[in-house]
Chains A and B, each alone.
Chain A
């Protein structure tokens, strides 16, 4: 079935450093891919998505490109801020019965940005 493998954390960077969090997937076909972010004490929230191969999702300075050749969806940001400190999850749909579509999430990568 569909699955994701996410870069192990934690990741600690200085403010304004470049960020990459790796995510690779195994899937039937070309499902939508997602990055979620969880700030301390909050629930997960959608950060960005790509719905088809070669699409680039972007939001809040973060980007990820859906690359079918390498089955990857790596998250990048050119200059991180302290406020980006959070846990980041890669996710994709798992097709199940009827129209219900559950998501399978990666293990999460803790990012800490130091001032």
Chain B
């Protein structure tokens, strides 16, 4: 099992540029989550999908952030334009997404460390 795959692992970009982060969830998982982690704010849920449909995007900081899940095996998080305060580690996680308690477990990817200069 390959686990959750994220790319790139590191991204350095200049303010104003567009950034696209990619995630491949575990095969068979129905829910996908995007998180942001910083020292100041800790771990924040940005958005999550169930069966490719966005369920809750209330954590998305502003309109510069957008996320898509065109199919069950791929999701993107885009920041346009990027700003220095977006510098953080962005994690993708997936879960079975079923009603049973055992499916609540989330499996995290290794993260993308984003630096905006």
Contact = CB atoms under 8 A, between A and B. Distances in A.
Interface residues of A, number: 23
Nearest to B56: A96
Contact of B50 (A43, A99, A108): A99
A103 B104 contact: yes
Contacts of B33: 102
Contacts of B101: 31-32, 51, 93
Nearest to A97: B55
Contacts of A59: none
Contacts of B25: none
A115 interface: no
Interface in A17-73: 31-32, 34, 42-46, 49, 51
B114 to A, nearest CB: 15
Contacts of B108: 43-45
Nearest to B48: A102
Interface in A74-104: 89, 93, 96-103
Nearest to B102: A51
A49 B105 contact: yes
A28 to B, nearest CB: 14
B98 to A, nearest CB: 6
A102 B42 contact: no
Given A43-B111, A108-B43, A99 B104 contact: no
Interface of B: 4, 30-31, 33, 42-43, 45, 48, 50, 55-56, 91, 93, 95, 97-99, 101-111
Interface of A: 31-32, 34, 42-46, 49, 51, 89, 93, 96-103, 105, 107-108
